[in-house]
Homo-oligomer: A and B are copies of this chain.
Amino acid sequence: MDEARGARRTGILFDLDGTLIDSVYQHVLAWREALEDVGIDVPVWKIHRKIGMSGGLFARALLREVGAPISPDVAQRLQTRHHEAFERYRGAVRPLPGAVDLLERLTAYRTPWAVATSGRRATAGPNLALLGLPEGVPIITREAVARAKPDPDLFLAAADALGLTIEDCVVVGDSVWDLLAARRARALSIGLLSGGYGTDELERAGAFRVYEDPADLLRHLDEVGIRELE
């Protein structure tokens, strides 16, 4: 098979928090504070397990746990409080091992890639800055779509921004919600352990392959069919 110049390219659609940036645990504790602030008591591990969902679904999923109603006012306060709390944790946030190298390698390979996150641009922006992204990389944040993960809209928009069909893209994410969104979009997906989920959880959610973190994915790019375009 000739996969050289002019052949179909595989695009990579990255989640951000827990996939490229080591920020999941800080987000988890920021949500814990925000929830307690509006009188909702949810243990931390349950918040962890819902991270990566859209804010609206996230709030609804947590409320299912506690059985309380939530008004639009409270939903807005939750978002604001989470953003404020996360700002306090932000100083400890770092890129994940290999994240910058992986993105550079993909760029060098001329493999198209994009970022698609359920986060809002205000929160995601400084995290993206840590990665030193090159010009022209499509960044799809919460504001760009009607429904965030586990709906497939973010990944569909990211594929579109790369000029690719979703079937020609591989989603890389750390959460069950990334992988479910990928399946709904009919994209293959790679799970990373760096968000703190277990291998089993990621495989059951449909991961085609599971690696530790971006550095581990970089070492195994050949396993997922990513190679230099000749």
Q: Whole-angstrom distance between the alpha carbons of A18 and B196 in the complex?
A: 15
Which of A44, A97, A194 has its CB near the most chain B CB atoms (within 10 A)? A44
Within the complex, which residue of B22, B32, B200 is in contact with A92, where a contact is CB–CB below 8 Å?
B32
B25, B29, B36: the one contacting A48 at CB < 8 Å is B25
Q: Is the CB of B201 within 8 A of A198?
A: yes
Q: Which of B22, B45, B193, B198 contacts A194 (CB 8 A)?
A: B45
A196 contact set on B, CB distance < 8 A: 44-45, 48, 196
Count this chain's copies in the assembly: 2
The answer to whether the Cβ of A111 comes within 8 Å of any Cβ in the partner chain is no
Q: Which chain B positions have C-beta within 8 A of A25?
A: 25, 28-29, 32, 44-45, 48
A33 nearest CB neighbor, chain B only: B92
Most buried by B among A45, A48, A197, A198: A45
One of B22, B36, B43, B48 near A213 (C-beta < 8 A): B43
Pair B201/A45 contact, Cβ less than 8 Å: no
Question: At the interface, yes or no: A182 with Cβ under 8 Å from chain B?
Answer: no
Q: Is A210 an interface residue (CB 8 A)?
A: no
Taking the nearest CB of chain B, how far is it from the CB of A74, in angstroms?
20
Given the interface contacts A48-B196, A197-B198, does A43 sit within 8 Å of B29 by beta carbon?
no
Q: Please name all residues of chain B whose beta carbon is closer than 8 Å to the beta carbon of A200 when the two chains form the complex.
A: 198-201
Residue of B nearest to A48 (CB): B196
Within 8 A of B (CB), among A174-211: 193-201
On chain B, the residues within 8 Å of A193 by CB distance are: 45
Quick check: is A26 within 8 A (CB to CB) of the other chain?
Answer: yes
The smallest C-beta distance from A153 to any residue of chain B, in angstroms, reads 27
Cα separation A22 to B48 with both chains bound (whole Å): 12
Nearest 8 interchain pairs by C-beta: A198-B198, A200-B200, A45-B196, A25-B44, A198-B201, A22-B43, A45-B194, A22-B44
